[in-house]
Each structure stands twice: as C-alpha cells, then as structure tokens.
Amino acid sequence: MPRISEMTDVDFNGVEQPYVPPKTLNISDNVKLHTNWDREIDPVTYEVIRHNLWQINEEHGATIQRISGSPVAMYALDLNPSILTEDAEFVYFGPYMQYMSGVTDTQVKWTLEFRSENPGISEGDMFIANDPWVGAAHQQDVMLLCPVFWEGELFCWVTNCLHQYDIGGITPGSFCPAAESAYDEGILLPPLKIIENFQVRKDIEAVYLRSSRKPDLVALDFRAQMAGNTTARERILDLIKRYGSGIVKGVMKRVIDNSEKAYLEKMARIPDGYWQDRTYVEACRPGDRRTHRVMLGLRKEGNKLLFTNNDSAPQDGAMNATYSGWRGSIMVAVNELLCWDQYFAPGGALRHIEFDPTPGTFNCAHFPASVSTAPIQSMEISLYPAYNVLSKMIYPDTEMRKDIMCIGGTSQWPATLFRGIDQWGERYGYLLIDPIGGAIGAFTMADGINTGGQSRTPICQLPNIEHTEQNFPILFLYRKELPDSGGAGQYRGGLSAESCFIPHNTDVITQDTLSSGNATPTSSGMMGGYPSTTNAYTFIRNSDIFDNIAASKMPEDTSELRGDPITLQLREENFQQSASDVYAVRWTGGGGFGDPMNRSPADIAQDLENYSITVETARKVYGAVLSDDTTVDVEATTKLRAEIRTARVQRDGRKSKVRNGTVLFEVGSCLNAMSDGGGQYWACSNCSTELGTTAENYKGFCIREDNPVSASNPLIGEPDRFIDDAVTFRQFFCPGCGHLIDNEIAVDTDPVLADISILDGLNPNV
C-alpha cells in the first residue's frame, strides 16, 4: 500500500481522505494575515512577554476547568488550550492531554484554507470542530477555534479542545466498541462558525446539542470553552496594546525559533539511523480473535525526522484512528522526550518532522471508518511505541539519555463501560476512570514510578473510591498495587494496580468490555528490560463473596473467592453483573529497562521490602539468591548470575569473537556501534564480542532463546484465551558473555525485528 507522499493524485482535503496540510496554505485574500513583526527584541521584554503568553495559556486552561466543572475536565483533564500564530504554528500548548497537540494545528490550517473565502474568518468569530478527518482525535474531542484580530488583520489563534460526555452514536458516552463505521458514531462537525461577530449562532448551537444524550452538560462545556478562548483573546489584545503588535508577534515567532534551535542542537548530537517498533492490537470488533500488527518507523537524517507506519494492519472494525490521531500520538512522545526543555513549544521541532503514514491502515483510516475509540486504543498503541523509537534514537547522547522513558502503564486502556439504574434511582452510564492511575515506565538511571499516572496526561488524578461509590452503585472490594506488575529490569518499571468491585444497592449492572493488550503485553521493556503485566479482566460469577461479608473475612484478591470464573473477551457486549458476581480490572504497568540480572542486590532487597516484586521473581528473573524474604545474599547472587550466563553461552556453543575497535556510539545498554580498519560493526558493550556489521541486524548474531510470553512477566496468562496467533517472548543474548541485549514479543510468523539501524558512514562524534 502506498504512503501519503506516494499518492500524488489524491486530494487530502479531510473528506474521504484525511486532511494533510500543504507546505503553503491556500488562504483567501479576504483574510489579511498579520505578518509584520520585530526581529530585534531585548531579552527582558522577550522574557516578560514569553512568560505572559505561557500564563495566558495556563489561565485559558484553568478557566475551562472552572466553568466546566465536569469530572472529565477536573480529573481526567481531557482538554488542552493552545496559542498558535496567524498561520497555525504552535506558540504554546498546555500541559493537559498531550495528544491533543497533534490534532490542533491541522484544524486551524484547514479552517484557514476552507473557511476563509466562505463564510469568511472575521473578528469576533469562533469555529467549532470535531471531524477526525479534518483533525480531531475522535468525535468526542470538540475544538473551539478563535481567531484573534488586531487592526483588521488576523494576528494569531487561541484554541481549546475538550472531551464531551456524549455527542451521539449507538453507545451512551459515544465510545462505540461495536460500531461498524462513523455513521454509527457521534455527530461530525467540520469547522463551523458557531460564534459570529461575538454572538453565539443559536441555530448552529441547537444542531450541535441535538445529537447529545446530555445536552445540558455539553451546553455548559461549550460555554466553558467559549470563556476560555475569550479570556485568552482579551489578554493577548492587552499585551498588544501595551507592547505593540510587532513586538508581541516577534516574541511568538522567537519562541518557535528558539524551540527550533534547541531541537536542531539536539539533532546534531545524535547519529542518523532508522528505528522500528512493533506491537499488536487484539480484537477489533466483538468476536474477532486476530492480532492486528502495529508498526512504527522513525528515520533520522540530519535534522529531519520521518515517521511511517509501513506494514501496519488495514483499517477494520472499531479500532481505528485517522491521520491526525496518529500524528497527535507521536507528538506526545516528541514533546516529552525532545521538547520538554522548551516547555510545550513544539512548533520549532515540527518544522523538521514529517509524517508519512499509509492511508487505509487502521491508524490512518479513511472515511467512514469507526474512530470513536481512537484515544483509548488505536492512538495509545500508536503513541507508546513512539517512546521506544525516540528513546533508542537519543540513547547515544549521554545527556539526552536521561530523558528516556520506557513505555508506561495503561498502554492500552482496559475499558469498563457500565450502565444501569444507580442507588439514587437514576439512569447512569460511565467509563471507569481508574486505569488513568497508570504507571510510569523505567528510566535509564532510575526505576519507573508506581501508579504514577499516564505519561500522556502528565497531570491527572484518579477519583477517590468514595467519589466513585457515591455516584455509582458499586462497592469496591479493593484497589491495590500489584507486586511484579512493573516490568523487570536493571531499572524496574512502575507498578500498576487492579480495581475490584461488586454491584451494590442495585440488582444488576450491564457492562461492555473494550480492551487490547490482554494477550500480548503492550508495555514492552527496553534494551533488555522486561514487559509489565498485560491488561486483565477477572470475572467470577456466583461467587461466595456474601459468605465473606457475613463472616467479616474480606478477600484481598479474587483468587481467594470461589465461584465460576468466566473469561471475558475483549469486546464483550451487554454482559450482566449480578449481586454476587465479582469483577476486577487490571491495567498494564511500566516497562523495565536493561537486563534484570544487572539489577543491584540492594534494589532487589528494597523491592522485596516494599512488595514491589515477589520472592519467586527475585529468584527467577533477577537471579537473586535470598537468605530470607527480604535479604539478598550479594556474593551468592553474583556467583549464580555468572553461572547462568556461562551456562547459556556453553549451551549455545557457537564460536564468537572479540573485536577491539573504537566505539562510535553506545546504542543500547549492552550494545555499541564500533569501527576498525575492517569497517563498522555491532558489539556487546560488556565484552566487545562482535555482533555483525552495522548493515546487518545484530540480533541475528545473538544467542536467541524463545519462551512462552508468560515467561516475560508472572502476571501474564495464556494468550490463546483471546487470540488465535501464537506469540513468543524472544530473548537475544551476547554469545560471548551471555548478557541480555534485547527482548521482543512477536507473533510467531513475524520476523525478528531490526529495531536499531545506523545509517552508514555517518558519525556525529568524529
């Protein structure tokens, strides 16, 4: 299938195919852009205005939260405000829901191209928009775009995006796991002038609200979005009045130029190459037992980054995202790993980043694919692999290495969609927010953060159990962190958690599941680190929980209960949870970093002390010898680890050779790119054993051991409960010293992945 760049005869205008902005926007002469700005600005004025612009964007976000007051805005922080230049380059983007960055500039650009002639863009207008082919992530993420005018010229844009409770479609809440196409989902609004000359167009507002099951709340959120934009617009105008339009615009351009400069300096420090990651989506519709391949490629040449999704699965069922959703997902990782020091000014980096996916794949789907579940499935699975490829790209630079993060928790969202009549006699429908508790993956020099949230929403808060129980007819038996849920490694991934509840003060709860990453782990580790637990649903029908309640002996785990265990499929529809049926949902944790057998005995002891790992894992995965449940025998451990490694090398029996050249760069925790008179080659960084030339895949020269996927984490069960494909945990060890270099989890028919390739002849360190 061709990529976008290869489809020269197709119009990417946001109708059948996604909107892909051209290099030069085609804007009507009716709109005059403000294009005069000062190039010379003194550093103090710059800093004062820069700080002000950041504050304006922050106040914009706070205004939306205050007025909306909805759990979506307050807890899940499913919103984001932005400031963009007249031609839709990012100046600032907020610290809330990160993927919304990649879906913002495209919508402004589309509006400039397709609305500037008719109905026109004028002072006092705002446009509402949620069409995923124009640029929204999914239909529920409604944007409000506000042009800011100064003396008749379009000076800049302020925009915001806020997730709505319900905007129609076949499932309450508008996440539609059984949708066959976008026609089954919420209303689609290509950018539409809902506010004209400072007045709300009542007719258009009515159309917008008409399709929602919760029109009052959507109306209130619309007011919150309007107030947010108004606040930001007025404050920017105040700045212009005080400092002049040339200075303020000059600062905006310099914010972008500076972020570009920072980006370019980083690019100059790392080698050119090509990095790949592979993972899988399970079940695209009820009854589906296939795995759907997700590929991400990143090519760096000089300053340019190119992202592709070659060989990803075709669009299907209700698991898809559009071009903008995929791009927005990758932007999350770009922002956090490359642009964090520029505090959410991604505009500069974007000047050098190209996105070239293949239309018709599930994460670049064309109209009218079903995309309402995109943010919790297709986008998550597009987003987290981007951490891996970017991390591997920046690893050679020792400073940037500190910015690396392994994939974190809830890398696929195990949704609990439940509904019925609540304890107050009212109808309810809800998506359990608990998995937002996530986990942060391991870093290159520290462990990840247990239940540290989802890295794609750096600030978020899980509701208290008492909050959830007040609003819904359930009783939590527990919510707990799980030992071993974080991926093992020299640095361990953060632990995730599990929530377990029974119906309470209601007869029955009707539920749907919507998940992936239950058979194959999606929080893979990096450079020898192990994956975290998978997602998991546990359902015990007719349990003996009421015996426990009567005896005042409550369980702390579902394994303590008797009853009929039912395997819930990943898109199970309309199953009933009755009074004694116990339901539990576990989410993925953080991936680990580096060979677990390199973890220090002191850290292992600490893990045992804190219930972060079990005794069995300490022994089996970490190769630790314990003198009691929390004490590691350091000497015996060192000895045991050496024996395990030696035995592995001897078992393999191949002849390996040490090759002493110069290190070109360190590309992994146990892998170097080297060179000598004979050329460039890979080598183990521990013992300098050669692992092929850099034109080849180093993994082909490693000892390979294949194990069941359950060996990668003790909490992972048998994949065949959910999928028909066989899946394997492949491990690659140095044939010289037996150290672990990398792991991969793959469907058996997929080839060994070449995760790291260095482009020949380039070496930034020389």
Binders of another protein in range 190-249 (CB under 8 A):
216-217, 220, 223-224, 227
- Size of the residue set binding another protein (CB under 8 A): 90
Distance CA 51, CA 45 (A): 10
Is residue 631 near another protein by the rule CB under 8 A?
Answer: no
CB 590 within 8 A of CB 485: no
Is residue 390 near another protein by the rule CB under 8 A?
Answer: no
Q: Nearest approach, Cβ of 2 to another protein (angstroms)? A: 37
Given the complex with another protein, which of 181 and 461 has the nearer CB atom? 461
Given the complex with another protein, which of 213 and 504 has the nearer CB atom? 504
Q: Nearest approach, Cβ of 485 to another protein (angstroms)? A: 12
Kindly tell me which residue out of 25, 209, 270, 475 binds another protein, with binding defined by CB under 8 A.
475
Choices 38-46, 130-138, 179-187, 275-283 (CB under 8 A): range interacting with another protein: 38-46
Pull the structure tokens for residue 241. 């009045």
Q: Nearest approach, Cβ of 536 to another protein (angstroms)? A: 17
Kindly tell me which residue out of 50, 366, 599, 739 binds another protein, with binding defined by CB under 8 A.
50
Kindly tell me which residue out of 477, 604, 709, 745 binds another protein, with binding defined by CB under 8 A.
477
Choices 41-49, 412-420, 615-623, 636-644 (CB under 8 A): range interacting with another protein: 41-49
Given the complex with another protein, which of 73 and 673 has the nearer CB atom? 73
Choices 297-305, 396-404, 706-714, 720-728 (CB under 8 A): range interacting with another protein: 396-404
Is residue 367 near another protein by the rule CB under 8 A?
Answer: no
Q: Nearest approach, Cβ of 488 to another protein (angstroms)? A: 19
Residue 742 parent element (H or E): strand 740-747
Q: Nearest approach, Cβ of 369 to another protein (angstroms)? A: 32
Is residue 559 near another protein by the rule CB under 8 A?
Answer: no
Q: Nearest approach, Cβ of 627 to another protein (angstroms)? A: 18
- Residues of span 116-155 touching another protein by CB under 8 A: none
Kindly tell me which residue out of 333, 405, 568, 727 binds another protein, with binding defined by CB under 8 A.
405
- Side by side, the strands of the sheet bearing 703-708 are 703-708, 727-733, 740-747
Choices 134-142, 411-419, 525-533, 553-561 (CB under 8 A): range interacting with another protein: 553-561
**Letter for the amino acid at 174?**
S
Q: Measuring CA to CA, which residue among 623, 549, 534, 655 is closest to residue 586?
A: 534
CB 508 within 8 A of CB 466: no
Q: Is the dihedral of CA 641, 642, 648, 651 positive or negative?
A: negative
- Residues of span 434-453 touching another protein by CB under 8 A: 436-438, 440, 443, 446, 449-453
Q: Nearest approach, Cβ of 47 to another protein (angstroms)? A: 5
Q: Measuring CA to CA, which residue among 595, 593, 531 is closest to residue 737?
A: 595
**Tokens 């894992």 identify what position?**
617
Given the complex with another protein, which of 336 and 512 has the nearer CB atom? 336
Given the complex with another protein, which of 116 and 499 has the nearer CB atom? 499
CB 735 within 8 A of CB 705: no
Given the complex with another protein, which of 181 and 471 has the nearer CB atom? 471
Q: Nearest approach, Cβ of 60 to another protein (angstroms)? A: 12
Given the complex with another protein, which of 53 and 298 has the nearer CB atom? 53
CB 186 within 8 A of CB 174: yes
Q: Measuring CA to CA, which residue among 582, 576, 575 is closest to residue 547?
A: 582
Kindly tell me which residue out of 15, 25, 33, 74 binds another protein, with binding defined by CB under 8 A.
74
Is residue 29 near another protein by the rule CB under 8 A?
Answer: no
What burial letters (b/e) apply to 16-28, b meaning 16+ CB within 10 Å?
Answer: ebbbbbeeeeebe
Distance CA 755, CA 297 (A): 9
Given the complex with another protein, which of 341 and 706 has the nearer CB atom? 341
Residue 110 parent element (H or E): helix 105-115
Is residue 590 near another protein by the rule CB under 8 A?
Answer: no
Which DSSP state fits 671?
E
Q: Nearest approach, Cβ of 760 to another protein (angstroms)? A: 30
Choices 27-35, 126-134, 176-184, 461-469 (CB under 8 A): range interacting with another protein: 461-469
725: left (phi over 0), alpha (psi -120 to 50) or beta: beta
Identify the burial level of 385 via C-beta atoms within 10 angstroms of its C-beta, where 0-12 means exposed, 13-18 middle and 19 or more buried.
buried
Kindly tell me which residue out of 554, 602, 644, 695 binds another protein, with binding defined by CB under 8 A.
554
- Residues of span 500-529 touching another protein by CB under 8 A: 500, 504-505
**Letter for the amino acid at 687?**
C
Choices 21-29, 547-555, 566-574, 666-674 (CB under 8 A): range interacting with another protein: 547-555
DSSP letters spanning 165-216: S---SSSTTS--TT-SSGGGSS----SEEEEETTEE-HHHHHHHHHT-S-HH
Choices 270-278, 360-368, 544-552, 753-761 (CB under 8 A): range interacting with another protein: 544-552
Kindly tell me which residue out of 1, 206, 268, 459 binds another protein, with binding defined by CB under 8 A.
459
Choices 17-25, 174-182, 325-333, 606-614 (CB under 8 A): range interacting with another protein: 606-614
**HEC profile for 136-147?**
CCCCCEEEEEEE
Is residue 614 near another protein by the rule CB under 8 A?
Answer: no
- Residues of span 263-282 touching another protein by CB under 8 A: 265
Is residue 639 near another protein by the rule CB under 8 A?
Answer: no
Is residue 87 near another protein by the rule CB under 8 A?
Answer: no
Kindly tell me which residue out of 2, 26, 66, 304 binds another protein, with binding defined by CB under 8 A.
66
Choices 61-69, 302-310, 574-582, 613-621 (CB under 8 A): range interacting with another protein: 61-69
Kindly tell me which residue out of 15, 33, 67, 421 binds another protein, with binding defined by CB under 8 A.
67
CB 669 within 8 A of CB 528: yes
CB 92 within 8 A of CB 255: yes
Kindly tell me which residue out of 16, 210, 287, 424 binds another protein, with binding defined by CB under 8 A.
424
Pull the structure tokens for residue 254. 């310099």
Q: Measuring CA to CA, which residue among 11, 49, 27 is closest to residue 108?
A: 27
Given the complex with another protein, which of 20 and 331 has the nearer CB atom? 331
Q: Nearest approach, Cβ of 235 to another protein (angstroms)? A: 10
In DSSP terms, 515 is beta-bridged to none
Is residue 465 near another protein by the rule CB under 8 A?
Answer: yes
Given the complex with another protein, which of 317 and 483 has the nearer CB atom? 483
Given the complex with another protein, which of 50 and 278 has the nearer CB atom? 50
At 148 the three-state DSSP class reads strand
Is residue 605 near another protein by the rule CB under 8 A?
Answer: no
String marking each residue 314-353 x if it binds another protein according to CB under 8 A: ----------------------x---xxxxx---------
- Residues of span 689-748 touching another protein by CB under 8 A: none
Distance CA 604, CA 621 (A): 11
Q: Measuring CA to CA, which residue among 110, 52, 60, 66 is closest to residue 80?
A: 60
Q: Is the dihedral of CA 733, 739, 744, 745 positive or negative?
A: positive
Residue 467 parent element (H or E): helix 465-471
Is residue 43 near another protein by the rule CB under 8 A?
Answer: yes
Distance CA 634, CA 209 (A): 66
CB 217 within 8 A of CB 429: no
Q: Measuring CA to CA, which residue among 513, 433, 424 is closest to residue 473?
A: 424
Identify the burial level of 350 via C-beta atoms within 10 angstroms of its C-beta, where 0-12 means exposed, 13-18 middle and 19 or more buried.
buried
